Amino acid sequence: MTNEDTGIFQNVLDRLELTQKYLNLPEAVYNRLQSPARSLIVTVPVEMTDCSVKTFTGYRVQYNTARGPTKGGIRYHPGLTLDQTTAYAALMTWKCGVVNLPFGGAKGGVACDTTKLNLREIKSLTRRFTYELSPIIGPDMDILAPDMYTDESTMAWMMDTYSMIKGYSIPGVVTGKPVSVGGTVGRTNATANGVFLCIQNALKELNCNIEGLSVNILGFGKVGSGVAHFMDEAGCLITGIADSKSAIYNKNGIDLVKARIYKKEAGSFKGFPEADNLSIDELLATEVDVLVPAAISSQLNENNAGSIRAKLIVEGANDPTTPAADEILKDKGVFIVPDILANAGGVIVSYFEWVQNFQRYSWNIDEVYDELKKKLCGAFEEVLETSKKTGCDMRTAAMIVGVGRVGKAGAMRGLYP
């Protein structure tokens, strides 16, 4: 990595260092947690529609295998770097530890802009990228999942490509697949569902009734739009919404049906007639009960954290709050449910899908939801109890739980040879 490319992962290491002050892991174990087990960079040549060949760069980082095979998403984004991929792989490692799944963390993707590729080109890119990853992935090694700008179709292509290489169907190599090829019911909204469960648990701790609360949501993809739906159904006012191009605000509440239709037709929320058009920072500065950052990393930072007037922040995105913003928000008394707990619903239901693939037995939606609720609410209570016991904030408490489990597993297994 270059010096210019170490910012996001350095944030992860800074938080790991703070966590070590509470855990006091053996030096050898702690040192091992500061680096990924494996980092792979591949070139992905793709024949374009015009018969030219364009080469993309792909990444896969498997951070830690002490608790089991690695697990993590695949994202397609033009700004993807090795540093980002490493950071997200580390966060996934701690996340699996927090909710006590038998996985290590991984992350991967291709640096590309899918808006400039047609369906055939995206499919070709996906299949070639899967081929390049095939020596190091598998249901017992490293399990892939959808992330930013990838979806269940991407996972179906990846599963099919890997199965063709091996010569027989291996559905467990990916999760987040269509139900028709071994996916699970309940996976599509699992992350948003988990965020909503964490909001409910946090409000219970804060002695707040959910009905009538105001909510601002940054990012309106699968997670943000799903959380908006759940909160709207619970009787909340969705007062602010932002996507990558615009932000809108109405203190009396936004009609989600009309807003979705407008965005689909216009391409963004910009100009939506039933709300004020604001910048992202202006939206962050509005007074609101619950803020859900569900977009990109470092969106809450030292430049805007001081103006945030939310009482509760529940992180739907990966690493949306910088350490500097954390300190500012902590001083302001904001209750934050961190990403490695709040958005763990996706990996929990992915685990259920993986288990079903091994069993060749499908669960129904009630089983999936009940087990998700049991797993996530149990993790929330454990993190909350750790926070109260140590006197630290919820993010540090989640790190103590997650990193503690990973560190203990590494210490018990020792070194080979």
Whether pLDDT at 5 is above 80? no
So what's the pLDDT on residue 3? 35
Q: What is the pTM of this model?
A: 0.94
The per-residue pLDDT for 359 is 95
Instruction: Inform me whether the pLDDT recorded for 368 exceeds 90.
Output: yes
Residues of the chain with CATH 3.40.50.720: 190-342
Q: What's the longest Cα–Cα distance across the chain? A: 66
Q: What are phi and psi of 75, to 5 degrees?
A: -125, 145
Report residue 307's pLDDT band, with 50, 70 and 90 as the boundaries: very high
Instruction: Tell me the pLDDT band of 283, cut-offs 50, 70 and 90.
Output: very high
Question: What are 222-268's pLDDT values in tens digits?
Answer: 899 999 999 999 999 999 999 888 899 999 999 999 999 999 999 88
pLDDT the model gives residue 337: 97
4: pLDDT confidence band, cut at 50, 70 and 90? very low
Angle between helices 190-205 and 345-359 (to 10 degrees): 130
Element housing 127 (H / E): helix 119-133
pLDDT band of 296, cuts 50, 70, 90: confident
**What pLDDT score was predicted for residue 297?**
82
| Residues known to be catalytic | 107
How far is residue 52 from each of residues 48, 121, 124, 130, 365, measured CA to CA in Å? Answer: 5, 11, 13, 21, 45
Token output for 378: 């149990």
- Report, as an integer, the average pLDDT of 389-410: 97
Residue 27 in this model has a pLDDT that exceeds 80? yes
Q: What percent of the chain has pLDDT over 90?
A: 93
CATH tag for 190-342 (out of 3.40.50.970, 3.30.413.10, 3.40.140.10, 3.40.50.720): 3.40.50.720
CATH 3.40.630.30 applies to domain 3-178:
no
| Mean pLDDT confidence for 95-112 | 98
| 2 pLDDT higher than 50 | no
For the stretch 121-143, pLDDT in tens is 999 999 999 999 999 999 999 99
Q: Give the angle 84-90-93 at the CA atoms, nearest 5°.
A: 145
| Strand intervals (E) in 322-407 | 335-337
**Helix or strand or coil: residue 217?**
strand
How far is Cα 302 from Cα 190, in angstroms, rounded to an integer? Answer: 31
For residue 412, the model assigns a pLDDT of: 95
What average pLDDT does the chain have? 95
- Average pLDDT on 312-320 reads 94
404 Cβ contact list (under 8 Å, min separation 6)? 23, 97
> What's the pLDDT band for 355 if we cut at 50, 70, 90?
very high
Could you tell me which of 272, 275, 233 has the C-alpha nearest to residue 250?
A: 275
Span(s) in the chain for CATH 3.40.50.10860: 3-178
The stretch 24-39 carries a mean pLDDT of 96
Say what percent of the chain tops pLDDT 70. Answer: 99
| CA nearest to 384, candidates 374, 372, 396 | 396
CA 242: distance to chain centroid? Answer: 18
Which pLDDT does position 294 carry in this prediction? 94
- Residue 244: the pLDDT is 81
